[in-house]
Structures are given as structure tokens and as C-alpha cells.
Amino acid sequence: MEQLQGSVQMWVLFVLLGIASAQMHQDKYFKGQTGDAPFHRCQVSDIERVQCGDTGIDGAGCEAINCCFDRAQCFYAKEVTVQCLRDGQFVVVVASETTVPRLSLDSVSLLEGGDVAPCRPVGTTPAFVIFQFPVSACGTTMREEGGYVVYENGLSSSYEVASGPLGSITRDSVHELSFQCRYFGSEVVSLVAEVNTVPPPLPVTAQGPLSVELRLANGQCDAKGCSDANVYSSYYSGADYPVTKVLRDPVYVEVRILERTDPNIVLTLEHCWATSTSSPVSLPQWTLLVDGCPYHDDRYLTTLVPVDHSSGLPNPTHYKRFIFQMFTFVDAVFLPSQQETVFIHCSTAVCHPSATDSCERRCGRHRRHATKGVQLSGETAMVSSEEVIIVTSQPAALDRMVSDSDHQVPQSLSYGLLGVAALAVLAVSALVLAVVWRFRTLHQAIKL
């Protein structure tokens, strides 16, 4: 509370042109007014006093800001005190003894704002309530009058009403007060302006061809604490293809814009998929990303890798990265038949961010709603990878295509078993024929 009063005093000493005035329905409560009995505005007990102004203020300075001075102490009087600060703020201090009976300080409020900052009290004691707020807030009105800028506000108290069958009464004091600060227009030099940032303008240059590259990362991530982002430190070169992978090996994919330095564009991935040939429209196909988000019908979901300024890239919005686990295509009719090559394809587009759209797509339950407003330019491109070959430790066996696939018999073994069975049948048949022939020979010999 002392810091607040010190701040008030510091500003008020400089505001000789700020004139505070107040009109009240009960004139007898103000200094200098007469009535049936004198009203001692400065008779405030020591325990109830609230310091007014700075600690070192003298009597003249205390009286200049409409406060009471007693034994080197400046304090607020038992009335409503209005002070105007040079930085354009009201300070309003209301005493509970402003009215008879005492005013309920909890019921006092400004014209607007209620119990929300900055319109709610900044301090409350059993005897006083203190408001401090900008002259432009809480329902304050402004007008120009004779070269002065006049800011006017008001406060009032609520009261409890008892209702009976034939009428309603209250036993609370009814208090309404209007107050104003007047600033001489030519002396007010401070200006508070709120500046809203605007989005950067779109590039003035014409659109050029969009050059995009899809490449596979091969960095090592064996150390403890290593993240997926560390793998994107090196990449396969053209001489490394075809790249060999084992089923379920992670494949680290990066798509990037080439030959562009505009920081105000964002690369977006529309659709990413894989085929068994180099043609992006060939069949079969397997979806990896849909609208830039993992394909939810794949049990091994594709993982998106964020690319931000921590990556050290000059334009991180020109890059998109994702990871999928290696798979192989199989024939839908003859499941053991495998396609040993995979090619990766992505359709891309350039997005221009705005104040309402960052071009970053959100994946999840609200994905469709969040991506509806993405504003794409006419710059699109389709990009493909080089050949990736799948190798397995058991060439004739699949890697758990279904839950019970561990019990499947390799195709070559099945054919071998069938051959053995056929030979066994032929051997048994030959043996039976030999026995029958021998029996007939013996029977004919006996007859002779």
C-alpha cells in the first residue's frame, strides 16, 4: 500500500494542470461545507489511516493533493478523494464514513468493468477502498471544454432491499458520485498507441517453377539420447542406389524445396505413397501420408519429424520429414508372392502463411477442420525417390503378414512334401501289385 501511495505522490507533484473535481448528492460531507455539526474530515484514527503521497511529503504538498497532514504524516481524509496523475490515470479513494450510516465498501463500483482489472479496487481496508485505473477505461467519457480535455467517470454503491407484501425498504446508504480530471490540451504530450502487427506482404515476384527433391537420410543414431532428427545429418547419394532395407527397418524421408530463398513460403505435403515400380500411378500402391498426416489405416503409423530453427537450416519451412517402417508388396491372391522393390512418391505444394493461417497442418481428431483454411498457391510438384530393395534373411518366408503367419510353411518346402508323398503312394502301389501277381502265380501252379 505504501508503494501505491508513493507512486501517487510522485506523479501528483508534477500535475499542476490536472484538476480533480467531484460532485456529490450529499454536499455536507465535503471540506469547507457547513451543517448542523462540523464534519471533521481529518479525524481518522491512527490504525485506520492510509498514507497519501510520498513518505517525505510536507504539509503544503499534502494539502495540494487534497489529503490531511498531522505530525509529519500525510493520509487520506474521511471522504472521497480524487487525484489525477500525469500519466493519464485516476486515483479514487472512498472512505466508509462518506455516508451516514457507514458505506459498505464491498458494494462500491465504477460505471463499468465490475470486478475485472483495472476497474476493480487495487486496495481495501476496513475504512477505505482505493481505485486506480486509466482515464480511457471503466466507462470513462471524454470531451473537450474550453481548451481542456475532460475525462469523467462515476461510482455508485449497491444496497440491500427488503420486500414485503405491500412495499420494499432498504436500510443501506445510497451513494452516487461523479468525478472528473481536466487536462490542459496544449500541455498533454504523452500518447499511448496500440499498434497491431500486420502479416508480411506476399512476394511481389512472379511465380517460377517449383523444384522439389525427395531423398533418404542415412545418419547414425546409436548414441544414448540420440533423436530421429540426428539421422538427417547425411543422405544417400546417387551412387548408393538401389538402397537395401530389411522389413520393418525405419526409412527416413526428407522432401525439400530447391533453389528458393524466400523465407515467407512453406512447403506442404499433400499426399505421399509407395509403389512397386518407378511409375507413381502404377499398382499396387500403399499410402503413407494423407493431407500431410499419417495414414490412420496403417498399423505402423508414419511418424512426422518436426523441422524448426533448432535444425540449423537456413529456411526450415522449406523442408518436410517423415519416417515409415519398411514393407513389401504382396500379391493379393497368392500371398507368398512378393514384390522386392519400393519407390516413394509425394505430391507437394507451396503455401503462403498469413495472420490467420500458419500453413502448419494439425493431425488428429480436428485435422480436417484445422487444414480447411490452408491457402495454397498454384505452385505444385510431384517428386519420387530412387529404387529401394527389400532383403530378408529367409527369402521364401514373409515377416508375419497375419497373426498366425509364424506357422506358415515355405512354398518350396510344401512342394517337396508333396513330391515325397507322391513317391510314397507309388511305392506302396507297386508293392501291392507285386504281391497280387505273386499270389496269382502260386495259385495257377497248384492247379496244374
DSSP character string of 222-284: -STT--GGGGGG-B--GGGPSEEEETT-EEEEEEEEES---TT-EEEEEEEEEESSS-TT-SS
> How far apart, in Å, are the Cα atoms of 414 and each of 221, 401, 424?
41, 18, 16
Tracing cell 458520485 back to the chain, one arrives at 177
What pLDDT shows up at residue 376?
53
Q: What structural domains and CATH numbers belong to the chain?
A: 2-187 (2.60.40.3210), 211-391 (2.60.40.4100)
Residue 247, exposed/middle/buried by CB under 10 A (0-12, 13-18, 19+)?
middle
CA distance 132 to 304: 51
Virtual CA dihedral for 9, 10, 16, 21, nearest 10 degrees? -40
What pLDDT shows up at residue 14?
33
CA distance 317 to 122: 47
Residue 4, exposed/middle/buried by CB under 10 A (0-12, 13-18, 19+)?
middle
What pLDDT shows up at residue 254?
95
What pLDDT shows up at residue 240?
92
Three-state DSSP state, 160: coil
> How far apart, in Å, are the Cα atoms of 431 and each of 14, 258, 371, 379?
128, 78, 77, 79
Tracing cell 475532460 back to the chain, one arrives at 150
What pLDDT shows up at residue 18?
38
CA distance 397 to 381: 38
What pLDDT shows up at residue 435?
58
At residue 407's C-alpha, the angle toward residues 402 and 408, to 5°, is: 75
What pLDDT shows up at residue 327?
87
Peptide bond before residue 242 is cis, with ω within 30 degrees of 0: yes
CA distance 323 to 161: 70
Using an 8 Å Cβ cutoff, are 278 and 421 in contact?
no
Q: What is the pLDDT along the chain (448 residues), one digit of tens a residue?
A: 444 444 433 333 333 333 344 333 333 333 333 344 456 889 999 899 999 988 888 999 898 888 999 888 899 999 999 988 888 899 999 998 888 788 888 889 998 888 888 899 999 999 999 999 999 899 999 888 888 888 999 988 887 777 766 667 677 777 788 998 888 765 543 333 444 555 655 555 555 667 899 999 998 877 777 788 889 999 999 999 999 988 888 999 999 999 888 888 899 998 999 998 999 998 888 999 999 999 988 888 899 999 988 888 989 999 999 999 988 887 766 655 566 889 999 999 888 888 777 788 888 755 444 444 444 555 788 888 898 887 765 444 444 444 444 444 454 445 555 565 666 666 666 666 665 566 565 555 555 5
CA distance 174 to 104: 10
Neighbouring C-beta atoms of residue 141, cutoff 10 Å: 12
* pTM (whole model) above 0.85: no
What pLDDT shows up at residue 404?
43
- State the Rg of the chain over Cα: 44
Q: E strand or H helix at 150, and its extent?
A: strand 148-157
Virtual CA dihedral for 41, 46, 48, 50, nearest 10 degrees? 80
Which candidate, 27, 30, 55, 57, places its Cα nearest to that of 41? Answer: 30
Q: How far does Cα 135 stand from its chain's mean position?
A: 34
CA distance 247 to 8: 75
What pLDDT shows up at residue 320?
95
Q: Is 318 left (phi over 0), alpha (psi -120 to 50) or beta?
A: alpha
What pLDDT shows up at residue 364?
73
Q: Are strands 285-290 and 211-217 parallel, antiparallel or unpaired?
A: unpaired
CA distance 307 to 317: 7
What pLDDT shows up at residue 190?
35
